[in-house]
Structures are given as C-alpha cells and as structure tokens.
C-alpha cells in the first residue's frame, strides 16, 4: 500500500461492530440480536498541513500531481454524524437534491455483478453500488473473494483488508452463522438510497460514495443506513469501472435514508436513470 506524504494514515475502520449489531437488533432474541450491524465506522482521519517553510527544490512530475490530487480527495474528511444516525428515522423536513444514476447495461457482468455503466461520475457511483449490493446481499466469503478478484484493481485494498470483506466476516461471526456464508433462512436486502460524488480527477477517476438502505430478516426485521466510499478507476481495455488503487478514503457518514441527518450530511437522493 503506498504511503501518502502530507496525510495521517486513516485509522482502522474495522468491521461492523458487535455493539452496534446489538443496538440495531435490540428487542430480538439475544442469539439473533447480533446478526446485523450498525456500522463500526472509523474516526475520520485528519489532513495535516504541509510545512509552508519547507523549500521547494523541484517541480512535481505530472504523475506526482495526479497522486496528490486523488489522495487529497480521498482523505478529505466527510460530514460527522451521531453514532445512532444510521438507526434514527427522523424524516427530513426538506428533500435533498437528486442524483440520477444510470442503470447497468449488462445484468450479470464479471462475478455476476451488473456492469456496463458509462464513463461518467454517475456511472462510477452506479458501479460501486452494484459491487456493494452483490457483496452484502450474498454475505458469502467465497462470493466476496470472487467479486474482489474481478472488481478491485492491483494496488487497491487487499481482500482481507477490504471494508466489505471485513463486514461480511463480522456479520457471519457475530450472528453465529457458521461456515463461509449466511444461513439460508437469513435474507439481506440492500437498496441504494443516496449517493454523492466526493470528487473527480479527469474522466477516468472518481471518488464515489453510496448510502445503502440495508434490511435483514431472520424471524424478525432490522434496518439501518450504511454509507461507503471508494476510489473508482475506469479501465479503458475492459470498458468498465474498477475499485481503484490507493489508500482507503475517509469513512462516509452512515445515516438513515431520507432522514434529516442524511440531508445534513450531504447525501443526494438516488434516482434511477432511464435504461438506454
């Protein structure tokens, strides 16, 4: 993993926490209460200010400028929200602005993930949501490994360090699901509810963020909001977006979809585009 000068390393985001699993499923039997997690999101890492007095000896190369721009976009802190914002359905008094996200042109791409999103920031958002939805709804380590192999480019997060993998591991362990995948009686439904483009660097790189409405059913239901960001890199050879190389971005705020906290955090209302 490359080291970025001028930034503190992001604190370990960790998997979905057991405590927030318990909070989310409070009222369900103890054996089930740990099944789903509210997000154990990390404290957002702070940017350090470069030393203004340091002499400038050489002009940075074009590649160095690109890395710096992308790292700054990735590391910039996002909105801070209360820990229980993901579970608090206080409706917003005003509608958030909308973001129209194109639909997939290919229903089942590599590893079964929908693909064929256009080379636009909104296309990157759509592809990230498709990857995330496939991982979380499967809650399967073999599926997650396959998706990682097909959708994370070299230099991106390793499969064991990938936030989505860690969430699957935490879900299976805390819920005592056993084995490598969720029980067949457990249903996880993940629906895009909000999104934002944190930043772009040319037409082939976007920092995309998606707010998911996550619902779990296992004899009872639980619900939460989950925000997730990732560097997205366009692959001109395969004509598709991949999760890009570089250190993980600052954590996204997790809020209940459509809540006042979601609007305040900057989430835009997800609107499906018209299929071409």
Consecutive 10-residue runs of the chain (276 residues): their mean pLDDT?
A: 37 52 43 34 27 40 62 93 83 88 95 96 97 95 97 95 92 75 87 96 96 82 82 94 94 89 91 76
Residues 6 and 54 sit within 8 Å (Cβ to Cβ): no
* 4 belongs to a structural domain: no
C-alpha–C-alpha distance, residues 242 and 41, integer Å: 23
C-alpha–C-alpha distance, residues 36 and 20, integer Å: 8
Residues 31 and 176 sit within 8 Å (Cβ to Cβ): yes
C-alpha–C-alpha distance, residues 129 and 212, integer Å: 8
* 1 belongs to a structural domain: no
Residue whose C-alpha is closest to residue 131's, from 85, 89, 162: 162
* 12 belongs to a structural domain: no
Give me the number of domains the chain comprises. 1
* 204 belongs to a structural domain: yes
Strands of the chain, DSSP E: 98-101, 187-200, 205-217, 221-235, 240-243, 268-272
3-state SS, residue 1: coil
Tokens for 146, please give them.
């396959």
* 10 belongs to a structural domain: no
pLDDT value of position 30:
32
Distances (CA, A) of 177 to 19, 82, 198, 227: 17, 29, 35, 24
pLDDT value of position 94:
84
CA distance from start to end of the chain: 39
Q: Is the pTM of this model over 0.85?
A: no
* 13 belongs to a structural domain: no
Residues 43 and 2 sit within 8 Å (Cβ to Cβ): no
* 161 belongs to a structural domain: yes
* 212 belongs to a structural domain: yes
pLDDT value of position 179:
77
pLDDT value of position 276:
53
Structural domain containing residue 199: 18-272
C-alpha–C-alpha distance, residues 21 and 24, integer Å: 5
C-alpha–C-alpha distance, residues 71 and 76, integer Å: 8
3-state SS, residue 71: helix
Neighbouring CB atoms inside 10 A of 28's CB total 18
């Amino acid at each position: 993993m490359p080291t970025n000068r001028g930034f503190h390393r992001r604190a370990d985001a960790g998997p979905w926490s057991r405590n927030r699993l318990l909070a989310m499923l409070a009222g369900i039997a103890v054996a089930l209460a740990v099944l789903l997690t509210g997000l154990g999101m990390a404290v957002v890492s702070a940017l350090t200010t470069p030393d203004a007095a340091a002499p400038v000896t050489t002009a940075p190369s074009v590649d160095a400028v690109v890395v710096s721009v992308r790292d700054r976009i990735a590391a910039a802190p996002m909105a801070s929200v209360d820990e229980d914002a993901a579970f608090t359905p206080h409706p917003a008094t005003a509608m958030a602005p909308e973001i129209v996200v194109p639909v997939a042109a290919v229903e089942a791409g590599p590893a079964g993930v929908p693909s064929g999103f256009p080379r636009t920031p909104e296309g990157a958002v759509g592809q990230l949501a498709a990857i995330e939805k496939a991982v979380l709804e499967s809650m399967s380590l073999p599926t997650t490994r396959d998706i990682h192999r097909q959708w994370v480019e070299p230099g991106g997060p390793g499969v064991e360090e990938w936030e989505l993998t860690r969430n699957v591991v935490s879900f299976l362990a805390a819920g005592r699901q056993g084995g490598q995948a969720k029980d067949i009686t457990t249903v996880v439904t993940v629906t895009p509810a909000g999104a934002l483009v944190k930043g772009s660097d040319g037409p082939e790189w976007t920092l995309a963020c998606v707010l998911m409405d996550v619902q779990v059913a296992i004899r009872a239901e639980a619900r939460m909001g989950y925000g997730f960001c990732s560097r997205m890199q366009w692959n001109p050879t395969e004509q598709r977006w991949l999760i890009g190389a570089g250190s993980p971005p600052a954590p996204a705020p997790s809020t209940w979809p459509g809540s006042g906290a979601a609007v305040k955090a900057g989430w835009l209302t997800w609107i499906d585009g018209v299929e071409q």
